[in-house]
Amino acid sequence: MTRSFWGVLRRVALVAWAAALCPAAHANETPRPQRGSLEYRLSWGAGAVRADRAYRAGATGNGVVVAMIDTGLGGPNLFAHLSPASTDLVPRREPDQGQANHGEQTASLLASALDGSGTFGVAYDATLLSIRADRDGSCRTTCSFDPAVLAKAIDYAVDNGARVIGLPLASYRRLPAMEKALEHAVASGALIVAAAGNDGDKEPVWPARYASDPRFADAVIVAGASTATGKLANWSNKAGSAAERYLVAPGQNVIVDCGQRYCSLVSGTSYSVSYVAGAAALLMSQRPDLKAGDVARLLLDGARDLRARGTDAVSGRGVLDIARSLKLAAN
């Protein structure tokens, strides 16, 4: 689901200056991204969704628990606030075999720390609840998930206080084993953000397609992928029957995995999930009184049209625009 390609010389040059270009905050001051810093430029997705308005208003995701159900973390020190309830639902897992860590990538775009190094997450001050749920050994090839374990993961997220649940995964079949857990999440007041899929199809994959199911619609947002120029990525699944609940967010050539010498470029609607979930956390931190349905409505109503005016079956409600959503929340 991801692609990684970056020239070696460019990798070295980009990361070497990151710390020097991002001033540190004072001891008791919540840090804010510095627009002139390399850390900010590498984190281009935050600018693309106009998160700056939230940061200037003091919204950083603080106090909001966001669960990411994926393949786990390799570097928990990347995150300012990692929930102690973060877990792996597969006991006695075999050691990983050196695969790229999809779970760490999606989590870093959501909530990695603002520390002057590499990139920062769009909701960098949110509390990350990382739930690993992939089948044991499956990530040696293509990571896969058991629907029953996913259901357990959703229940676990709800029971541990998650207000937002990210599902950066896909199935070509309906997932009956997950439906009771989704009902539990809806009843608890959690907002669910699910990946549209990466096949260029006219309809989202499951579980994102549950956004068009009346039982879950108010609590599910579908995330499609945009390019750095704000266009819908041609490989992103379209809105289809979930058009009213579909948002487009950065998902092509986003930057992750910044080490001492290099970063990686990745693409996929999984990464778009991180931006939409992070946007929800920013709104919730600014307006703790808002319910999940209110936050979803603000995100959807605040989107910028990508194609024809209004909702359409290709780009749904349009491009995620946090500044517009915050303005709506203030009215």
35-44, 71-80, 130-139: lowest mean pLDDT where? Answer: 71-80
What are the distances in angstroms from CA 211 to CA 83, 176, 220, 331?
Answer: 28, 14, 5, 27
The end-to-end CA distance of the chain, in Å, is 39
Predicted structure pTM score? 0.90
Higher pLDDT, residue 296 or 32: 296
d(CA 221, CA 300): 9
Which residues lie across from 67 on neighbouring strands? 129, 165
| Stretch among 64-73, 92-101, 154-163 having the lowest mean pLDDT | 92-101
Model pLDDT, residue 9: 23
What are the φ and ψ backbone dihedral angles of 226, each rounded to 5 degrees?
Answer: -115, 165
Backbone angles phi, psi at 15, to 5 degrees: -80, -25
Is residue 20 predicted with pLDDT exceeding 50?
no
> Tell me, what's the pLDDT at 14?
33
Q: Mean of the pLDDT values across residues 126-144? A: 92
C-beta neighbour count of 182 within 10 angstroms: 26
**Burial (0-12, 13-18, 19+ Cβ within 10 Å), 269:** buried
Structure tokens, 126:
């949110």
Closest by alpha carbon to 77, among 115, 44, 50, 133?
Answer: 115
Does the structure show a pLDDT above 80 at 95? no
Task: Examine the pLDDT at 28 and tell me if it is beyond 70.
Answer: no
pLDDT at 324 exceeding the cut of 50: yes
Residue with tokens 């374990």: 149
pLDDT classification of 21: cutoffs 50, 70, 90: very low
Question: pLDDT at residue 143 above 50?
Answer: yes
- Pair type for strands 164-167 and 65-70: parallel
Q: Is 196 exposed, middle or buried (0-12, 13-18, 19+ CB in 10 A)?
A: buried
Length of the chain as a residue count: 331
Is the Cβ–Cβ distance between 57 and 286 less than 8 Å? Answer: yes
Segment 222-243, tens digit of pLDDT: 999 999 999 999 999 999 999 9
Q: Is the dihedral of CA 163, 273, 216, 54 positive or negative?
A: positive
Determine how many CB atoms are found less than 10 A away from the CB of residue 102. Answer: 23
Q: What tens digit of pLDDT does each residue of 277-306 get?
A: 999 999 999 999 999 999 999 999 999 998
pLDDT for 52 beyond 50: yes
Dihedral (Cα; 263, 269, 273, 274), 10-degree rounding: 0
Looking at the chain, the whole-number percentage of residues with pLDDT higher than 70 is 89
**CATH homologous superfamily of domain 8-330?**
Peptidase S8/S53 domain (3.40.50.200)
Give the tens place of pLDDT for each residue, 172-209: 999 999 999 999 999 999 999 999 999 999 999 999 99
Which residue did the predictor score with more confidence, 67 or 117? 67
The whole-angstrom separation of Cα 245 and Cα 107 is 22
pLDDT computed for residue 76 by the predictor: 65
Residue 94: predicted pLDDT: 80
* Type of residue at 237: N
Strand, helix or coil for residue 44:
helix
The pLDDT of residue 2 is above 50: no
